[in-house]
Amino acid sequence: MFRFPAAFVMSAAIALTVTGCGGGSAPPTVPTPVITAPPPPSALALSGTLTATNGGQPLEGATVLVGGASSTSDASGHYSFTFPNGTILSTFTIAGAGLLTRNGYFGSSGSRSVNIDAFLMSSFDQQYFRAIARNGFEQPADLQPLRRWTRAPMIYLRTIDDTGRSILPEVLQQVITIVTQAIPEYSNGRFGIAGIEQGTGTRVGQPGWITIDWTRTAEAICGLASVGVEGGNVLLTYDQPGCSCGSQKIRPRTVKHELGHAMGLWHTGQAADLMSGVPVSECDRNMTARELRYLDYLYRRPVGNTDPDNDPSTAVLLKTAIVVN
């Protein structure tokens, strides 16, 4: 057997070592592609809690209908659905014994938690709600969609009447005080006023504004107002018999009443109410607890909600309506 000299073997090993540490490089390692299967279709989950609009308590045993499926709320008012991914869910219906059926629309898509509510009839006076929120007292055959403000209004207070004569500064201040207190109350605490401006012009027709104007023409009314309309106005009869009260040129009650209209309320026909629509001679009055409670219900539904309880799918543009008292 032929043997290499030891020196040759050592030289070859060194040569290999030098070659390995020198400028040469090994072929790059190509990773083996990993092929993964597409993820399985995921489920779309929809759940939430169903409560009473009037009271806030959980509603047990109510049926929630969504996308052709139904879910019954449990003792805590919880409901839930599972749909194939990609299902478009836009509408819901709440129904059940003792409930006023509500039809509404979801405002988003995908898996989500949505708390919804419906009126519990045992503690809901539908006729009264139709009166104060839909003009059901004066026009029961032509109920109006809900109208109200969705943001804090700007107030433009005119400093002259329809004859060009100035309004006394103390009367203007009286109105400012009432407006500052009434608007937060009439929006159920949701917002106040965005600002108050005074001048001889007008903001009628401009979104975001309520113009308070004055007239000295007594025509058996002390005030009138557009109902829940941005750019609407309140007209007050100034310093006229039957509309003034002692030294006050305009009754505080009249100012409060017309502001109620401007914020979206109609006449109730109930003599005890500020928004009654029944002629009275008293100087002042505030809203009753019932008026404030039903005003809260009004603010728990979107603008354009129709009778008995149907939410609109899109924003509803409302025409100006005038109410006198």
8 Å CB contact between 175 and 212: yes
Give the mean model confidence (pLDDT) for residues 35-54: 78
Instruction: Check whether 229 has a pLDDT greater than 70.
Output: yes
The predicted model scores a pTM of 0.83
What's the confidence (pLDDT) of residue 109? Answer: 75
Distance CA 151, CA 319 (A): 18
Instruction: Check whether 199 has a pLDDT greater than 70.
Output: yes
8 Å CB contact between 223 and 251: no
Give the mean model confidence (pLDDT) for residues 36-64: 85
pLDDT digits (tens, 9 = 90+) for 129-158: 999 999 999 999 999 999 999 999 999 999
Containing 133, the helix (H) or strand (E) segment is: helix 126-134
What's the confidence (pLDDT) of residue 208? Answer: 97
Instruction: Check whether 5 has a pLDDT greater than 60.
Output: no
Displacement of CA 237 from its chain's centroid (Å) = 33
Buried b (16+ CB within 10 A) or exposed e, 147-172: bbbeebbbbbbbeebeeeeebeeebb
Q: Which amino acid is at 155?
A: I
Domains present along the chain, CATH in parentheses: 43-124 (2.60.40.1120), 154-324 (3.40.390.10)
Instruction: Check whether 315 has a pLDDT greater than 70.
Output: no
pLDDT digits (tens, 9 = 90+) for 103-126: 999 877 788 899 999 999 999 999
Buried b (16+ CB within 10 A) or exposed e, 27-60: eeeeeeeeeeeeeeeeebebbbbbbbbbeeebbe
pLDDT digits (tens, 9 = 90+) for 96-105: 999 999 999 9
Nearest to 91 by CA among 102, 105, 79: 105
8 Å CB contact between 135 and 143: yes
Give the mean model confidence (pLDDT) for residues 25-34: 59
Distance CA 79, CA 73 (A): 5
